[in-house]
Amino acid sequence: MNKLDSVISQTEDWATQIVKQDISLFARVKVDRESIRYTVIEQTKSEDVLIEFFSECEFLTNNTGTEATLIMLPNAVQSFDEFLDLVGLANNILSEHTLEGGYRLAHFHPDHRSAGEPLQAHQKNTNRSPYPCLYIIKEASMEYALEPPKETGLKQAWWEKPVKYANLMLAIGTIFLALGTGEFSRLMMVPMYLAIYFSIK
């Protein structure tokens, strides 16, 4: 197995374990429907990474069968603070090219930190991926994944309430962390957390 195959394999294994916990409903749809594209960007400079990031957005636009792309960055932005700067620039690209309404951007990093979480608690943070990752999601696909289930007469799934309130706490914690540190790029995750919170009745 070469290096690129190893990067993808490790990330796929991580993603599979995350969705088994039902942490992200829309991510579970992506994996279950096998409509996620795994792409490795080997560039080391942020500007080169962003060029390929935009190319992935164009790929998603032109390929209706693919609903999301998970970009792995094994050689770039190893620092979490540098990574957040890259995430901000990527969101700017979506906005400047009028793609923001059609896509959502989530992100994962080996050193991802949430409010009040010690740095060494790696096993408890599901946003900590093997490599820095940018996750581009088609808005329509995300809305489909967040649609409430149709009435079937069945009882609510056991995991729904914990997931609901976990996302509310993540939203609140992210807001306080951004205000406390001045790193306002963190706030881009808040709408996603709240969308999941409100989607679960």
The pTM assigned to this predicted structure is 0.66
Residue 159 φ then ψ, to 5°: -85, -10
Domain range list for the chain: 1-139, 155-201
Strand partners, 37: 69
CA distances from 42 to 7, 75, 90, 186, 198 (A): 11, 6, 17, 25, 37
At 106 the pLDDT is 87
Structure tokens given for 38: 């795994």
Q: What digits encode the pLDDT tens for the residues 77-113?
A: 989 989 999 999 998 888 877 654 578 888 889 988 7
* Widest distance between CA atoms in the chain: 53
Between helix 25-32 and helix 3-20 the angle, nearest 10°, is 120
Mean local confidence (pLDDT), 7-11:
92
